[in-house]
Amino acid sequence: MSIRIEREGDDGVRFEVSGEIGDGWMAIGFNDAGAMTGADISLIWTEGSDVEVRDAIATGRVKPSLDTTDNLVTNFTSRSGDDVTAIFLRDLATGDSQDNDIPDTDEFFLALGILNRHSRILWSHCKALSKGIISNVID
């Protein structure tokens, strides 16, 4: 899984996420508490030729629930074999009680996950820069 995160204008963030997931999912979660509970999650899942990007919230160490208001704007999705790419935008602050603000500071906490038919669930946690270009790629 790889991720590239960049500022989009004055108050937005552009996410580019790709991975070899086939029929499966990958997700980005962020929470200033550094835990899954309360994490705001951007979920990318595939089935057949469909690639969907959805806004979700984690209420505990259980399957995240879809947010009642989807605050993600999908710009591009593609699937070639098992390789999937999604590019989407989100405001730093959406005003949605089910979303966490993405801080306009030097760092924020990310949790990345992937599941496909070849692997078990894999979560990786890192801190990434949120000012200017964020381009820590995880492969």
- As beta bridge partners, residue 112 has 28, 124
Interval 81-97: pLDDT, tens: 988 999 999 998 999 99
When pLDDT is cut at 50, 70 and 90, the band that residue 4 belongs to is confident
Q: What is the pLDDT of residue 30?
A: 77
When pLDDT is cut at 50, 70 and 90, the band that residue 112 belongs to is low
Can you tell me which residue has the tokens 């499966």? 24
Q: Could you list the beta-strand ranges (E) of the chain.
A: 2-8, 12-20, 25-30, 40-47, 50-57, 65-66, 73-80, 83-91, 107-116, 119-129, 133-134
Q: What is the pLDDT of residue 133?
A: 35
Q: What is the pLDDT of residue 117?
A: 61
Q: What is the pLDDT of residue 45?
A: 85
Q: What is the pLDDT of residue 28?
A: 82
Mean pLDDT, rounded, of the chain: 77
Average pLDDT over residues 15-43: 81
